[in-house]
Amino acid sequence: MSAGAGNGAVNRRFVLAHRPVGLPQVDDFRLEVTPRPEPGPGQLLVRSRFISVDPGTRGRLGDRETYAQPLALGEVIQAATVGTVEVSNHPRFAVGDWVAAAFGWQDWGLSDGRGVRVIPDNGLPPSTAIGVLGIPGLTAYFGMLEVGAVKAGDQVLVTSAAGAVGSAAGQMAMIEGARVVGVAGGPTKCGWLTRELGFADAIDHRQATDMTAAVAAACPNGVDVLFDNVGNAMIDSVLPLMNRGGRIVVCGQMADYNQPQPEAVGLKNTRAFIGQRLTMRGLVAFDYYREYPQAWARMTDWIRAGRLRYREEVIDGFAALPEAFIGLFTGENLGRRVIRPD
């Protein structure tokens, strides 16, 4: 079955073929071509224009419940999507509307309207609705501002700092008046953080043989907020440097997602929890959905004012989805990665 250019007459989709062991492989995903769905009364049909790949999806490919139910074998891979309404039998949607939804890795989405949101005309590219204004940006917002409770003068360390979540989280901490250091892989990402986004410093984890020493050098006044996307090894190396009353935001566990559970590496420097009165909390942005409108309004203002910048990497071609996803775990992406089906 070819994933060549879609003609809109059929629905290409990737389903879960095998549960990955370790790093996902291309053949863990199976391409299927099915008829284009026909909307019934009250339904609308959406053609996906941008499809996301997210590290967090890894957790749903295994057979254990994480923060979402595991996908069944044969199910379409779950993902956020931005598309255009092509047929509408629903009063709230008009043909041509740009909408955000979660139709997954497929060309077409059929819906009764639930979970579909018309993207407001905010002057920003529609793809931002699943990027800096989507779950990545919202995760950064609630993670840094609510869970991290960042405030002026805080010393903040963000890991996977050049990613969609990390880069937004770091900038929001700066907006609040914090000093922010990022951890990222390679000189390109680190240079982007310090030269373009205004991070105080950036640590290249590919060069840092002793992460604790590297963080101590970049954060001479300790760490008040650790916003972590990496996992246990990273948190453990920062724990001895946390300041009294410090907050650890467990936002992602990228390095651990492909490991068997329990993790091979454990948190050992836990004596700091009492000694420094630390709080560590896990975060899922969905929990804050009632506060989304306010978050969107503030983030849109920050983007327009040039205070919240983002980078999108658009990959053309539906067939690229599995490889684009797998590449997230080897750190090849810079900022938000989305696929534009051909």
Q: Which of 263, 291, 332, 342 binds a second copy (CB under 8 A)?
A: 263
Q: How far apart are CA 253 and CA 154, in angstroms?
A: 23
- In the complex, the smallest distance separating the C-beta of residue 284 from a second copy, rounded to whole angstroms, is 6
Of residues 43, 89, 258, 279, which one binds a second copy by CB under 8 A?
279
Residue 109 or 134: the one with the smaller Cβ distance to a second copy is: 134
Q: Is 194 in the site for a second copy (CB under 8 A)?
A: no
Our finding on whether 278 is near a second copy (CB under 8 A) is yes
d(CA 189, CA 162): 6
Which amino acid is residue 299, in one-letter code? Answer: M
CB of 272 to a second copy, least distance (A): 8
Rounded Cα gap, residues 208 and 215, in angstroms? 9
Pick from 30, 37, 273, 292: which binds a second copy (CB under 8 A)?
Answer: 273
Pick out residues in 287-326 that bind a second copy (CB under 8 A). 287
CB of 269 to a second copy, least distance (A): 5
Q: Is 281 in the site for a second copy (CB under 8 A)?
A: yes
Name the minimum Å distance from CB 24 to a second copy: 17
Residues 215, 228 contacting (CB under 8 angstroms):
no
CB nearer a second copy, residue 196 or residue 287: 287
Which of 58, 337 has the CB closer to a second copy?
58
Q: Are 153 and 178 in contact (CB under 8 A)?
A: yes
Question: Do 123 and 22 touch, CB atoms closer than 8 A?
Answer: no
- 173 membership: H or E segment, kind and range: helix 164-175
Q: Which helix (H) or strand (E) holds 192?
A: none
Cα separation, 147 vs 127, in Å, equals 27
Q: Are 178 and 149 in contact, with CB atoms under 8 Å apart?
A: no
Which residues contribute to the site for a second copy (CB under 8 A)?
A: 59, 65-67, 231-232, 236, 250-253, 256, 261-284, 287
